[in-house]
Amino acid sequence: MNFIVTIDGPSSSGKSTLAKRLAKKLSILHIDSGSIYRAVTLYALQNNLLLNGKFLMKKLINILSMSSISLKENSNGIFKMHINNLDVENKIRGSKVSKHVSEIAKHKKIRDFVLKIQRDISKNKSIVMDGRDIGSFVFPDADVKFYIDSSIKTRSIRRFNQLKQFEKKLSIDEVKYDLLSRDKIDKNRKNSPLIIPENSLFINNDNRSIDDVLNIMLDHVKSIINKKVS
Ligand code: DC
């Protein structure tokens, strides 16, 4: 039986790490939906579509329709983001893309473009997908849903530690400011905002280790899936 597990939550809440590890434990695929929005943002920046602080959205939609933005599975069963067949996995994680991605992700046409990729890639497979609207909008009938959260302090420290090796000048206050502005856009946008999906298990991981949270998640998945198969 194929099943879908969704994990939603704000930036740097730990959801991608948990999603990756949960998928591995369950021997199913992991899809990081944020990476698709990040690739679209990188593509817009590479094509100089940011002018005076605003993206040229019509142009972006137009060039997207003529290009290939796709997740390709490598020999280890891990999906890597590609633009026109080039692996862009490392380029989509920097702070420039992070700064602009929520702005791009607000637009309905961009969300429709990403939705098609998300649904196509998950057809006839068991998957764990993480993002902002996965349990509420992309897969409202998913078998198991989680919402992962942690305090802004914990999230800022996590994100700062991820970025500091690449970006020496970055300060923790800058990281915190960026996270808060992305939260504001992600939670208040008109099209599929970040919400706690109905029937999801809410986990705050501030004072829990990754292994503890992972065990809670695994138990929850197993109890639901076992009920479905029995
Ligand atoms: O998870 P992340 O930080 O890589 O996501 C980057 C951005 O993409 C996030 O700020 C909002 C957007 N996003 C979204 O709108 N919906 C999703 N399902 C996943 C990401």
Look up the CATH superfamily of 4-222. Answer: P-loop containing nucleotide triphosphate hydrolases (3.40.50.300)
Residue 31 has pLDDT above 90, yes or no: yes
* Residue 87 bridge partners (DSSP): 82
* Ligand 1 touching residue 12 (CB < 6 A): no
* Ligand 1 touching residue 133 (CB < 6 A): yes
In this structure, are strands 79-83 and 69-73 parallel, antiparallel, or unpaired? antiparallel
| Residue 11 pLDDT | 92
Q: Tens digit of pLDDT for each residue in 212-224? A: 999 999 999 999 9
Span 198-208, mean pLDDT?
Answer: 96
Q: To test the ligand 1 pocket, which listed residue (13, 106, 117, 186) has its Cβ within 8 A of the most ligand atoms? A: 186
| Residue 75 pLDDT | 87
Residue 45 has pLDDT above 90, yes or no: yes
Residue 210 has pLDDT above 90, yes or no: yes
More confident residue, 5 or 98: 5
Q: Tens digit of pLDDT for each residue in 84-142? A: 999 999 999 888 898 899 999 999 999 999 999 999 999 999 999 999 999 999 999 99
* Ligand 1 touching residue 15 (CB < 6 A): no
Sign of CA dihedral 102, 92, 218, 117: positive
- Going by pLDDT thresholds of 50, 70 and 90, the confidence category of residue 199 is very high
| Residue 165 pLDDT | 80
- 225 token code pair: 């899936």
Are the C-beta atoms of 155 and 12 separated by less than 8 Å? yes
For helices 108-122 and 34-46, give the axis angle rounded to 10 degrees: 130
Residue 229 has pLDDT above 90, yes or no: no
Q: Tens digit of pLDDT for each residue in 154-184? A: 999 999 998 888 778 889 999 999 999 999 9
Among the listed residues 155, 148, 144, 128, the one whose alpha carbon sits nearest the alpha carbon of residue 194? 148
Span 50-57, mean pLDDT?
Answer: 93
| Residue 17 pLDDT | 95
- 117 token code pair: 């990729």
| Residue 228 pLDDT | 86
For residue 134, give the ligand 1 atom closest to its CA: 18
pTM for the structure as a whole = 0.94
